[in-house]
Amino acid sequence: MREFVDQLTRSRHWHVVGLIFALSIAWAGTGVAAEELPREAVLPLSLATKAANSAVEKCTHDGYRVSAAVVDRAGVLRTLLRGDGAGPHTVDSSSKKAYTAASLRRPTSELAELVAKTPPLQALRDMNDRVLILGGGLPIEIGGEVVGAIGVGGAPGAHLDDACAQAGLDSIGAASKLPASK
């Protein structure tokens, strides 16, 4: 390799090597600078787990067998807990409620009321197979930024799933997200 470089520098083509080198430096400077990239808060696994634990504990204390799921801002699962005796369907319902709340950035009870009052919005239910517009899903907002969502499924009523999800939010210091009508 050294011999090749020496030969190039001795030849008339040294200016081509210099030009290539200069162009490579110039091209490197045309990329996006790190400070231009958007910054997003990330929901740590420790907080996701704490929220899910608190939600399941609240429902268990109240006599309900539930599952709780927490997703990140993109709806990707961070943690899922199925409480003792919770039905297998609660795994899917809690995950879908969390996904829906994260995706649409609203409590799922609020979305259910909106869809019931505005028939053209019923198409939201069919947006994709991961959406479940049924109470029990709440966005997780910390410091004014939605960083994820929690979903609870299995209590005998959406308002009860909501209350357990809110207990999860309370445990990590997230903003209250219970619908105003509750």
pLDDT of residue 11: 55
Mean pLDDT of the chain: 88
What percentage of the chain carries pLDDT values higher than 90? 69
> pTM value?
0.80
Q: pLDDT tens for residues 35-48?
A: 888 888 999 999 99
Q: How far apart are CA 173 and CA 19, in angstroms?
A: 57
CATH for 45-171 is 3.30.450.150
Q: pLDDT tens for residues 41-81?
A: 999 999 999 999 999 999 999 999 999 999 999 999 999 99
pLDDT bracket for residue 22 (50, 70, 90)? low
- Asked if 101 and 149 count as a contact pair (C-beta separation under 8 A), the reply is yes
Grouping H, G, I as helix, E, B as strand and the rest as coil, residue 123 is helix
DSSP string for residues in 23-86: HHHHHHTTSPPGGGS-------HHHHHHHHHHHHHHHHHTT---EEEEEETTS-EEEEEE-TT-
